[in-house]
């Protein structure tokens, strides 16, 4: 390893910036369409669950932007027109029904064939209010020129039902009863947790006078009289955000991230979710020729499972085309889009094994990449490895010679890993 490259590892942030600024030609352009667009309307949630991976509650302690404002919704609608996603999911970290006006706007105007709304359903506590809200939801989506397929999925598990402001069983029952007259226009389903002692879904089926049948390990169906069925998809418990406090007690009682996602790998240990449609109703990810993007409540945009934390951009400053150009300007994103997030785990395993183990233990694919790349030293090292991998495989070609590139090419992957280990010291191992 040369001393020039060694000193680069001492200043990882500027090292990464220098690598990102190198003139490159890539053999493939960013795609011109989206795949799955996730919209988080707000971080606020009044249920305040103990397991919330977003640590959502009713407060704004940080003073940061906590909800998408009207201007963001307008920009999101344009972003959707430009990106033509196959599916939109409007969900938390936060409760989307707290932003009912924005929700109705999206339902009425978003050009998309398939829209899903994820909710805790605590707004369904009173029967008349529930009916009124469902009527508004139904009429907004029926005015949408794209005539989207619309599904509401309500979270039901013991954490929601015993939260600081618990969602009572009665709210789920109300929701089902209020939904029945709208079922030709709105689908309804539930989301549960894979936890042996969680009987919440069974309690709902009993309260509705229905039965439950299993489709597979992650899917059940509640059957009601009159041939009415409600799909229930089960997910793993995630130990991130407030959920990290539950890890010790519950880690061995839920499936691991790797076990849960194994059916969605397109080859062994290659999980490519950033170019897929998540049809959680069937617990499937479908490969798609676009990019899956998340819009967060603060207006920030990132490619799902493929963006370093310092590479987010904002809907107020980037159109769809500009955001893709920005994301694809990072070799890390390019590699993660083709190789998936486990590539990052493998790359970092010899360098920072405890960090990788901790990130995997969190059991959350959404935050895996950001957790692994939150340290600037790691991010600098991975940028170098990713760029080297792209050049070696002919997917990137330097447009000019540069001393850093020459030295990067002269070093082996093992050299770079060794250098990163030395630069990081023992603290991340
Ligand atoms: S309902 Fe969802 S968003 Fe709200 S606190 Fe619970 S887990 Fe978090």
| pLDDT reading at 329 higher than 90 | yes
Top-confidence residue, 236 or 247: 236
Least Cα distance to 349 among 269, 257, 259, 429 occurs for: 429
Ligand 1 pocket, residue 54 CB under 6 Å:
yes
The residues, ordered by sequence, that sit 6+ positions from 48 with a Cβ below 8 Å of its Cβ are 56, 57, 58, 163, 164, 165
Please provide the average confidence, as pLDDT, over all residues in the chain.
92
- Tell me the pLDDT tens digit for each residue of 237-293: 888 888 888 877 788 788 889 999 998 898 888 999 999 999 988 878 889 999 999
Q: Distance between CA 112 and CA 59 in Å, rounded?
A: 33
Do the Cβ atoms of 39 and 89 come closer than 8 Å? yes
Cα 134 to ligand 1 centroid, rounded to whole Å: 21
Ligand 1 pocket, residue 161 CB under 6 Å:
no
Ligand 1 pocket, residue 93 CB under 6 Å:
yes
* 417, 418, 420, 423: CA torsion to nearest 10: 180
Ligand 1 pocket, residue 56 CB under 6 Å:
yes
Top-confidence residue, 175 or 8: 175
Tell me 74's DSSP state: H
Cα 57 to ligand 1 centroid, rounded to whole Å: 8
- Tell me the pLDDT tens digit for each residue of 22-68: 999 999 989 999 999 999 999 999 999 888 888 888 776 666 788 99
Task: State the residue for tokens 């989301």.
Answer: 191
Q: Return the sign of the alpha-carbon dihedral for residues 68, 73, 78, 83.
A: positive
The pLDDT assigned to 197 comes to 83
The separation between CA 182 and the C-alpha centre of its own chain, rounded to angstroms, equals 29
| pLDDT reading at 427 higher than 60 | no
- Tell me the pLDDT tens digit for each residue of 342-370: 999 999 999 999 999 999 999 999 999 99
Ligand 1 pocket, residue 98 CB under 6 Å:
no
The pLDDT assigned to 110 comes to 98
Cα 87 to ligand 1 centroid, rounded to whole Å: 22
Cα 371 to ligand 1 centroid, rounded to whole Å: 21
Rg, C-alpha atoms of the chain: 23
Stretch (H or E) spanning 16: helix 12-21
| pLDDT reading at 429 higher than 50 | no
The pLDDT assigned to 145 comes to 97
Ligand 1 pocket, residue 121 CB under 6 Å:
no
Query: What are the backbone angles phi and psi of residue 36, rounded to the nearest 5°?
Result: -110, 125
Top-confidence residue, 201 or 51: 201
The pLDDT assigned to 280 comes to 84
The pLDDT assigned to 2 comes to 57
Ligand 1 pocket, residue 94 CB under 6 Å:
yes
| pLDDT reading at 9 higher than 70 | yes
Closest-CA residue, ligand 1 atom 1, reads 120
Ligand 1 pocket, residue 48 CB under 6 Å:
yes
Q: Return the sign of the alpha-carbon dihedral for residues 211, 216, 217, 218.
A: negative
Do the Cβ atoms of 324 and 31 come closer than 8 Å? yes
Ligand 1 pocket, residue 68 CB under 6 Å:
no
Ligand 1 pocket, residue 369 CB under 6 Å:
no
Tell me 406's DSSP state: H
- Residue from 93, 118, 244, 245 to probe ligand 1 pocket by mutation (most atoms less than 8 Å from CB): 93
The residues, ordered by sequence, that sit 6+ positions from 97 with a Cβ below 8 Å of its Cβ are 103, 119, 123, 133
Cα 54 to ligand 1 centroid, rounded to whole Å: 8
The pLDDT assigned to 60 comes to 65
Query: What is the arrangement of strands in the sheet containing 291-295, beginning at the earlier edge strand?
Result: 211-216, 219-224, 228-235, 187-193, 149-155, 114-119, 87-91, 34-40, 291-295, 300-303, 313-314
364 SS3 class: coil
The pLDDT assigned to 4 comes to 67
Go through the domains of the chain in sequence order and give each one's CATH number.
Answer: 3-23+331-424 (no CATH), 34-295 (3.20.20)
Q: pTM for the full model?
A: 0.94
Closest-CA residue, ligand 1 atom 6, reads 49
The pLDDT assigned to 428 comes to 54
Interhelix angle 70-83/100-109, nearest 10 degrees: 30
* 8, 14, 20, 24: CA torsion to nearest 10: -50
Q: Show the tokens assigned to 355.
A: 């960090």
- Residue 3 pLDDT level (bands cut at 50, 70, 90): low
Ligand 1 pocket, residue 167 CB under 6 Å:
no
Task: State the residue for tokens 């980037």.
Answer: 318
Q: Which residues pair with 119 in a beta bridge?
A: 154
The separation between CA 73 and the C-alpha centre of its own chain, rounded to angstroms, equals 19
């Amino acid at each position: 390893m040369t001393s020039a490259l060694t000193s680069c590892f001492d200043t990882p942030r500027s090292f990464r910036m220098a690598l990102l600024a190198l003139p490159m030609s890539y053999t493939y352009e960013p795609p011109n369409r989206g795949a799955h667009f996730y919209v988080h309307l707000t971080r606020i949630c009044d249920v305040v669950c103990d397991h919330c991976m977003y640590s959502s509650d009713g407060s704004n302690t940080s003073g940061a932007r906590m909800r998408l404002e009207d201007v963001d919704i307008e920009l999101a609608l344009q972003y959707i027109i430009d990106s033509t996603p196959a599916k939109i999911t409007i969900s938390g970290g936060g409760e989307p029904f707290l932003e009912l006006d924005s929700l109705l706007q999206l339902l009425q105007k978003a050009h998309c064939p398939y829209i899903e709304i994820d909710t805790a359903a605590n707004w369904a506590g009173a029967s008349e209010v529930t009916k009124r809200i469902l009527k508004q939801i139904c009429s907004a989506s029926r005015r949408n020129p794209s005539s989207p397929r619309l599904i509401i999925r309500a979270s039901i598990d013991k954490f929601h039902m015993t939260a600081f402001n618990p969602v009572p069983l009665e709210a789920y029952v109300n929701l089902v009863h209020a939904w029945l007259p709208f079922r030709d226009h709105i689908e309804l389903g539930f989301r549960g947790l894979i936890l042996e002692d969680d009987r919440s879904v069974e309690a709902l089926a009993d309260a509705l006078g229905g039965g439950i049948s299993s489709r597979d390990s992650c899917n059940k169906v509640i059957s009601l009289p009159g041939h009415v069925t409600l799909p229930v998809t089960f997910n793993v418990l995630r130990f991130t955000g407030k959920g990290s406090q539950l890890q010790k007690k519950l880690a061995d009682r839920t499936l691991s991230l790797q076990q849960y996602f194994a059916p969605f790998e397109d080859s062994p240990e290659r999980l490519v979710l950033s170019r897929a449609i998540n049809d959680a109703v069937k617990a499937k990810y479908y490969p798609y020729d676009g990019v899956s993007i998340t819009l967060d409540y603060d207006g920030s945009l990132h490619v799902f499972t493929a963006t370093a934390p310092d590479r987010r951009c904002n809907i107020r400053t980037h159109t769809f085309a500009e955001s893709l150009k920005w994301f694809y300007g990072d070799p890390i994103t390019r590699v993660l889009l083709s190789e998936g997030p486990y590539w990052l785990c493998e790359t970092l395993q010899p360098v920072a094994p405890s960090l990788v183990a901790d990130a995997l233990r969190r059991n959350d694919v959404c935050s895996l990449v950001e957790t692994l790349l939150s340290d600037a030293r790691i991010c600098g090292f991975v940028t170098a490895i990713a760029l080297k991998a792209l050049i070696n495989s002919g997917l990137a070609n330097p447009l000019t010679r540069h001393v850093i590139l020459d030295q990067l090419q002269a070093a082996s992957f093992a050299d770079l890993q060794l250098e990163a280990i030395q630069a990081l010291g023992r603290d991340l191992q």
